[in-house]
Amino acid sequence: MAKAKKASQAATSTSTSADSSAGNNAPNSRSTPKGASSKPKKPTAIDTLRTVVPSIFQESQKTVANHRKNSIMLRKIQEQCAEIAGEQGEEAFNKEFIRNLNVVLAVKKKDPVADRVIQFVSTFILCTREKDIVVGTETEDEEGSEGISSRFVEYLMHHLLKGVRVKEKLVRLRCCQLIALSTNSLGAMDDDLYTQLKSSLMERVKDKESAVRVQAVFALSKLQGEEESGDNEDNVVQKLVDMMQHDMSSEVRRSALFNIEQSKETLPFILERARDIDPYNRRSVFAKPMDELSDFRKLSIGERERLLRYGLSDRDEGVKKACAKMVATKWIQQADDNLIEFLQRLDVMSSDVADDVLRAFFDYRADIIGNLTFDDVFWFNLTVESALLVRAYAEFCRSKDDDIQFEKAVPEVTRHAFYIQKYSNMMQEAEEENRPEAEFIVTQLLMIAKLLDYADENGRRKMFNLLREMLMLDDIPDKHLDCIVETMGKISLNEKDFTRIVIEIISDIRTSIDEQEYLRNPEGSDDDDDSPDDQTLDMADTPRKRKRSISRRRSSVAAEDIGKAPSEMEATLIRIRCLTITKFMLERSEEPLTENSYMYGLLNELVIPALARHEEVMQQLGLQCLGLICALDQALAQGNMELFLTCIFADNANDTLHALSLKIVFDLLLTFGMKNMAANITEDRIITDLSKVLESTTPELQAIAAEGLAKLMLTKLLKNAQILRTLITMYFDPETANNNHLRQCLSYFMQVYFHSAHENQVILSEIFVPILVHLIQLYQDSKTNMPTPTIMAQQLLEWCEPRRVLGADTENDINNIDFGLPADIAINLVKAMFTESLETRKFLPGILFKIRLDADAGEIRLKKLTLLLGNLKHKRPFQELSAKKYIQSIEKNILKMFDDAPEALDDDELNKLAELTEEVSFLDGFEPPEDSIEEVIKAPPVLRERRKKASKAQASAKLAKIMEDIDAILQSDSDKETAEGDDSAGSDSDANIVEDDEDDDDFE
């Protein structure tokens, strides 16, 4: 940059001095009569143009501070030229201006000297236009007021438009930059200039250089609003939207994002950039366009929710901070700094991001934490927004361990129980249209109850009685049940006491069902003790020795109460409520089933009968409760494993039940292990059934199965090469392109699994070629939504790279890692070139060239490769020129790793070379396919590349040495077999040696 600066300064200074000397000497060259009294004529502004203008440009490149002063000086010179010679004077000024400007057009990007000159040109255009406006106002002649400046700008623009089409990229960049900076200073343009400018910029936004496209987008954005709206290709806004969405350069997309006008049509596309792949672009959405939004109510409720969710859940911390800053500074100001009003604009009842918004707000605005007050008036007049606010504030204080602020905000337990009871009664009495809001308020109060400290016995007892009464309500929402059960678990003395209390409540709820059955069949109900609905929960084992006897309650039911018995629908709802409470209780239970005997009665009398019901909701809840109970006892899980596997493929069950059964199976396998769960059924049966789910046509089941199998393999509970091959195929399969859950899960799993242990890479190396061949066939069948075979192979090779394994750089693990593993993949890949079809093998040489082959592979592996590649050229050669170049390049690289031909090998080295026997046997048994034979017959002769005699002799000597070592191995094996008396084997060995010798001659 310094060199460019000096060069530009030197060029300007040189032209200045030359022009100055020429200008100074010109008047002196005229001869005057001897004795004349007249003085020499003073040079005019036109005469000094080539001296003054370069000096002004020279000063402008030093600092930006003098741009305004130099612009005024240059304007005076422009006016003087116009006064002296009119249009000719203006033309002389314009040419001199352009001549000096051309010096910086070819200066490289981000040169501060050139950037200052560009800024000076923009300042001068603005200054000369302002001067003409002032003159026009004084003379009341608007047409003449823009004469000098408009003609100068038109001349400059025509000159710059020539530069946007030149071959030199730096000139195109500077011309677009000048146009972008000068457009702000332009007045009214004529139609021809506007059309040329727009056409040229539309062409430059397609420039191959991203820097040129950035400046072209910036310049094009200045033309917004100058045209009628439309969807044609020449529409500026549509072009900017297209660049913002689809340009490959993040800088171009960001330039379009910053400069596009915000309107009802463009806002949705601006919001899309919150999911841009570039984190800086995502951060820019919140830092500029959304931050400058005059009122965020211009966005719909859904757009606000989506924007906040994108920002607050982003993986980049900078994006999260930018979103939090936007909410805590700009958006809250637009709501008059009122949190309640701000929440009203988010529709918090249906919002899934309101909690995150408040948490981010409290984190960013820590100064208001101590200023929030929640008095009795506030608690007596709760709304949806205020209830959410106080609950989020209470959770924030608990997360920060700020007990002082928590106690200030939340009342004591007894008073809080009073508020819950008050709003619960209001919920029961509310009209149908107001009930959702009342339920939401009660939910927030119950969530606060989970955070309270129950050291006060009176408050604990009051809260316990209240929650017990609420559980007995008929129409209590599931969200309330979840909060109540969790709070009761916190109030209880221990888990056994918690289980006992919940089971007692369930027994009381089921009493109405048993009474109904007795009223319907008073004679047969006592004899039918096995009926699930007539059985009671035996509490004989409880510490309180309390038994709920339904028969005692039956006698108290009067005959006139028969008509008041609940209907069958109400009975079903009660059973569903009991199962829901049971599910929430089991989710919070951790004690083994053998230490909690209360569970057995619950299992036999409530859970198992639910599985036999015909209602889908009952079946799902019963199956979920059974899975949770099995997670507490291994023997029970082993006995029901067959049931869960059967439910996965049940024809009479829906997809929800299939997915639930599959999740339960994986939970049990992760809890107790594969071997323990294969006690009653074989392990192969479990693996086979899970593999079948991967072939399901339901995307949800596929994703659940892939996620579960990935967890089993990561925890080393399962090691199966076939399942691993299926998972890798699914990762690239175009049929799973829209299954984001599956793709995201496998993307994380592959990286962690193969880079966590080298043994996993060894497994992949063994199945590398079959997987690659299958993927190539998929690619040939359907090329949409699928990367090329080379890209897929590079991904597989990256997973197999031993240098990426965790601990590969430590001395303890370095001895356990085979860094030459890619060579094994290369050997198998070359073998596939012998056997695969023509459509498949054409991709293999390019993939082989991508494999890392170095000294880590070892001499034996490299000799195997040399042997296989040499025979490949003889037995099944490639006809494509690119494939031949790949093979020749690989051979040269391998031969470079060998030094000069070694001396005679000892016994240890011969034993090492014995590993080549497998490759020799492979080549002996190879028979070319019919298509390859026809290809060789039809193939034209290929000219061999000329090489120097010395290099050819050296390569031939190395190859001959390798073949001699192989012959020595085979000969030694033959001698051993002959010594043992096996004549037939010896003759076969001799025949093989003869065949090998023939092959050697052909290979050489």
Write out the DSSP string of 621-682: HHHHHHHHHHTT-HHHHHHHHHHHHHHHT-TTS-HHHHHHHHHHHHHHHHHH-HHHHTSSS-
Q: What is the C-alpha to C-alpha distance for residues 263 and 305, in angstroms, rounded to an integer?
A: 19
- Phi and psi at residue 264, in whole multiples of 5°? -65, -30
pLDDT in tens, 366-383: 888 878 889 999 999 999
Angle between helices 699-714 and 721-732 (to 10 degrees): 130
At 122, list the tokens: 């923009």
At 547, list the tokens: 């038994």
Confidence of residue 967 (pLDDT cuts 50, 70, 90): low
Q: Mind spelling out the 3-state secondary structure of 886-915?
A: HHHHHHHHHHHCCCCCCCCCCHHHHHHHHH
In this structure, what DSSP letter does residue 42 have? Answer: P
Overall average pLDDT of the 674-695 stretch: 91
Amino acid (1-letter code) at residue 245: Q
Write out the DSSP string of 431-474: -TTTHHHHHHHHHHHHHHHTTS----HHHHHHHHHHHHHHHT-T
Quote the distance between the C-alpha of residue 892 and its chain's center: 41
Q: Which residues contact 178 (CB under 8 A, 6 or more apart)?
A: 118, 121, 122, 160
pLDDT of residue 908: 55
Q: Which residues contact 402 (CB under 8 A, 6 or more apart)?
A: 369
pLDDT of residue 549: 32
In this structure, what DSSP letter does residue 429 have? Answer: H
Confidence of residue 164 (pLDDT cuts 50, 70, 90): confident
Q: Residue with structure tokens 């805590």?
A: 328
Helix runs in 278-412, H state only: 279-287, 301-312, 317-325, 332-334, 339-344, 354-364, 376-380, 384-399, 403-409
Quote the distance between the C-alpha of residue 514 and its chain's center: 54
pLDDT in tens, 199-249: 888 988 988 889 899 989 998 888 887 554 445 556 889 999 999 999 999
Provide the CB-side half-sphere exposure for 355 (13 A, CA): 11
Helix runs in 897-982, H state only: 907-913, 917-924, 930-938, 949-979
pLDDT in tens, 489-531: 999 888 888 999 999 999 888 886 655 554 455 544 444 444 3
pLDDT of residue 983: 46
pLDDT of residue 993: 31
Q: Note whether 650 and 673 are same-domain residues.
A: yes
Confidence of residue 807 (pLDDT cuts 50, 70, 90): confident
Confidence of residue 968 (pLDDT cuts 50, 70, 90): low
Confidence of residue 962 (pLDDT cuts 50, 70, 90): low
pLDDT in tens, 40-97: 566 777 778 888 888 999 888 888 888 889 888 888 888 888 888 778 888 888 888 8
pLDDT of residue 251: 92
915 occurs within a structural domain: no
- Phi and psi at residue 839, in whole multiples of 5°? -65, -30
- Percentage above 90 pLDDT, the chain: 38
Q: What is the C-alpha to C-alpha distance for residues 510 and 303, in angstroms, rounded to an integer?
A: 46
73 occurs within a structural domain: no
Confidence of residue 187 (pLDDT cuts 50, 70, 90): low
At 392, list the tokens: 């989020």
Q: Note whether 421 and 469 are same-domain residues.
A: yes
CA torsion 349-351-354-357 (nearest 10°) is -160
What is the average pLDDT value for the chain, to the nearest integer?
A: 80
Q: Is the pLDDT of residue 539 over 90?
A: no
Residue 856 Cα distances to 817, 862, 979, angstroms: 11, 10, 38
Q: Residue with structure tokens 């096996």?
A: 982
Q: What is the C-alpha to C-alpha distance for residues 443 and 440, in angstroms, rounded to an integer?
A: 5
- Selection from 631, 633, 621 nearest residue 583 by Cα: 621
pLDDT of residue 965: 64
Q: Note whether 317 and 412 are same-domain residues.
A: no
Confidence of residue 356 (pLDDT cuts 50, 70, 90): very high
pLDDT of residue 583: 94
Overall average pLDDT of the 479-489 stretch: 93
Q: Note whether 408 and 555 are same-domain residues.
A: yes
Quote the distance between the C-alpha of residue 525 and its chain's center: 61
At 652, list the tokens: 């009479």
Burial bucket for residue 392 (CB in 10 Å: 0-12, 13-18, 19+):
buried
At 385, list the tokens: 């927004």
Confidence of residue 717 (pLDDT cuts 50, 70, 90): very high
pLDDT of residue 679: 84
Sign of CA dihedral 744, 746, 750, 753: positive
Provide the CB-side half-sphere exposure for 351 (13 A, CA): 25
From 551-555, 690-694, 780-784, the region with the lowest mean pLDDT: 551-555
Q: Last residue of a domain, which of 669, 702, 722?
A: 722
Q: Which residues contact 519 (CB under 8 A, 6 or more apart)?
A: 557, 561, 562, 565
Q: Last residue of a domain, which of 687, 722, 757?
A: 722
Q: Note whether 355 and 502 are same-domain residues.
A: no
Are residues 266 and 260 in contact, defined by beta-carbon separation less than 8 angstroms? yes
628 occurs within a structural domain: yes
Overall average pLDDT of the 885-910 stretch: 67
Angle between helices 768-781 and 821-835 (to 10 degrees): 50
Quick one: how many helices (H) and strands (E) in the chain? 53, 0
Number of Cβ atoms within 10 Å of the Cβ of 373: 8
Q: Note whether 392 and 338 are same-domain residues.
A: no
300 vs 954 pLDDT, higher one: 300
- Selection from 82, 16, 23, 78 nearest residue 48 by Cα: 23
At 807, list the tokens: 């601990």
Q: Note whether 396 and 366 are same-domain residues.
A: no
Are residues 269 and 241 in contact, defined by beta-carbon separation less than 8 angstroms? yes
Write out the DSSP string of 172-187: HHHHHHHHHHHHTT--
445 occurs within a structural domain: yes
pLDDT of residue 725: 95
At 983, list the tokens: 């004549």
pLDDT of residue 235: 84
pLDDT in tens, 252-280: 999 999 999 888 889 999 999 999 999 99
Confidence of residue 13 (pLDDT cuts 50, 70, 90): very low
In this structure, what DSSP letter does residue 331 have? Answer: I
Amino acid (1-letter code) at residue 711: K
From 191-195, 497-501, 644-648, 681-685, the region with the lowest mean pLDDT: 191-195
Q: What is the C-alpha to C-alpha distance for residues 515 and 120, in angstroms, rounded to an integer?
A: 94
Overall average pLDDT of the 862-882 stretch: 86
Q: Which residues contact 812 (CB under 8 A, 6 or more apart)?
A: none
Burial bucket for residue 553 (CB in 10 Å: 0-12, 13-18, 19+):
middle
In this structure, what DSSP letter does residue 39 have? Answer: P
938 vs 495 pLDDT, higher one: 495
pLDDT of residue 137: 60
Q: Is 941 left (phi over 0), alpha (psi -120 to 50) or beta?
A: beta
773 vs 115 pLDDT, higher one: 773
Are residues 266 and 241 in contact, defined by beta-carbon separation less than 8 angstroms? yes
Which structural domain range is residue 441 located in?
A: 377-510+532-562
Q: What is the C-alpha to C-alpha distance for residues 611 and 613, in angstroms, rounded to an integer?
A: 6
pLDDT in tens, 16-56: 443 443 344 333 433 444 444 445 566 777 778 888 888 99
- Percentage above 70 pLDDT, the chain: 76
pLDDT of residue 855: 86
Provide the CB-side half-sphere exposure for 735 (13 A, CA): 13
pLDDT of residue 165: 86
Q: Last residue of a domain, which of 371, 391, 408?
A: 371
pLDDT of residue 952: 52
Structurally, how many domains does the chain consist of?
3
Q: Is the pLDDT of residue 125 over 50?
A: yes
Q: Note whether 386 and 338 are same-domain residues.
A: no
693 occurs within a structural domain: yes
- Selection from 259, 223, 265, 229 nearest residue 244 by Cα: 259
- Selection from 415, 418, 342, 411 nearest residue 374 by Cα: 411
Q: Is the pLDDT of residue 136 over 70?
A: no
Q: Which residues contact 600 (CB under 8 A, 6 or more apart)?
A: 593
827 occurs within a structural domain: no
- Kindly report each contact of residues 270-275 with a partner whose C-beta sits within 8 Å and lies 24 or more positions away, as own/partner: 270/244, 271/299, 271/303, 271/306, 271/307, 272/245, 273/244, 274/307, 274/310, 274/311, 275/310
Collapse the DSSP code of 66 into the 3-class scheme (helix H, G, I; strand E, B; otherwise coil) and give the result. Answer: coil
Amino acid (1-letter code) at residue 506: I
Are residues 805 and 819 in contact, defined by beta-carbon separation less than 8 angstroms? no
Confidence of residue 817 (pLDDT cuts 50, 70, 90): confident
pLDDT of residue 561: 40
From 161-165, 424-428, 968-972, the region with the lowest mean pLDDT: 968-972
pLDDT of residue 323: 94
Confidence of residue 871 (pLDDT cuts 50, 70, 90): confident
Sign of CA dihedral 879, 885, 891, 894: negative
Radius of gyration of the chain, Cα coordinates, nearest whole angstrom? 42
Q: What is the C-alpha to C-alpha distance for residues 839 and 779, in angstroms, rounded to an integer?
A: 11
Q: Note whether 452 and 543 are same-domain residues.
A: yes
Q: Note whether 495 and 546 are same-domain residues.
A: yes
Number of Cβ atoms within 10 Å of the Cβ of 882: 12
954 occurs within a structural domain: no
Confidence of residue 809 (pLDDT cuts 50, 70, 90): confident
Q: Note whether 418 and 287 are same-domain residues.
A: no
Q: Note whether 462 and 343 are same-domain residues.
A: no
At 793, list the tokens: 């192979």
pLDDT of residue 824: 92
Overall average pLDDT of the 596-612 stretch: 87
In this structure, what DSSP letter does residue 604 have? Answer: I
Are residues 566 and 516 in contact, defined by beta-carbon separation less than 8 angstroms? yes
365 occurs within a structural domain: yes
